Amino acid sequence: MSIKEYFDKNNLHHAYLIEGAQADIVPEILKFLKSIGVSTVANPDLIQISTDSFKIDDARNLKSYVSEKGLSAGKKIFIISANNFLLEAQNSLLKIFEEPIENTHFFIITPDASVLLKTLFSRLYFISTKSNLTEEVKEAEKFIKMSPKDRIDFIKELLTEEEPEDEDENEILSVDSPRAKALKFLNALEASLHKKISKGVFDTRVFEHFFKVREFLRMPGSSPKTLMESVALITPNFSN
């Protein structure tokens, strides 16, 4: 199902949280906005923010934009894409969503919705596109049948691109970055293993390790390759 099916043009929610890839989701949002009469070209009331890590300064800037009066008589739209939302920034965002402003709407996009605090998450209309992980799930099915050496080689090939040296200064979200690829594959691997629980006994504490890996993957400076190699070694084998 297309995400636009979740949008009610007659009763648009004030804030959406969409879990998935920016490259797939943003075009759908823009197409929907055009269908309801919102200009997507040279519109000062349509603000797009794309960053790897959404920080406190980003939240402050957003609050400033929100408080300003719109330059048109139409809707004010914010499209925010980020791999990670730092804790201080999330606490600042809470205040924005406590009292929705009329004709002001937010579309927040992240590859993993669990990056958000429950208090923030509860204020947003959640849409997941994880069902679109078809190719990753196929790769995950192959992965759980591989030898440890083949898994390490797979991880090395998956995460070929170098992370930026100074992640704090990286203001461009790339869905092809090693960090984003690692998170997406980890989601698919977890989904694949959940299907195996009823078919065989294995140590389900592996999911606790996955949770910790996700936490570290969200931290600037951590090594996606090292973290995913630990996943390769702990994931149970289903070659038989």
96: confidence class by pLDDT, cuts 50, 70, 90: confident
Residue at which a domain ends, from 131, 148, 179: 131
Q: Name the pTM for this structure.
A: 0.58
Domain containing 95: what range? 3-131
Same-domain pairing of 152 and 86? no
Nearest Cα neighbor of 185 from 143, 239, 221 is: 143
Examine the domain organization and report whether 143 and 120 are in the same domain.
Answer: no
Q: Are residues 118 and 139 in the same domain?
A: no
Domain count, the chain: 2
Does residue 124 belong to any structural domain of this protein?
yes
Helix (H, G, I), strand (E, B) or coil at 54: strand
Lowest mean pLDDT among 122-126, 198-202, 228-232: 198-202
Q: How far apart are CA 69 and CA 81, in angstroms?
A: 23
CA–CA gap between residue 128 and residue 48 (Å, rounded): 20
Residues 110 and 82 placed together within one structural domain of the fold: yes
Model pLDDT for residues 74-95, shown as the tens digit of each residue: 789 999 999 889 989 999 988 8
Q: What is the mean pLDDT of the chain?
A: 82
199 in the same domain as 97 = no
Residues 121, 188 within the same domain: no
pLDDT-based confidence at residue 26 (cuts at 50, 70, 90): very high
Which of 131, 162, 182 is the endpoint of a domain?
131
| Contact indicator for 54, 85 with CB cutoff of 8 Å | yes
- Domain end, chosen from 100, 131, 162, is at 131
Q: Residue 9 and residue 7: Cα distance in Å, rounded? A: 6
Q: Give yes or no: residues 78 and 110 share one domain.
A: yes
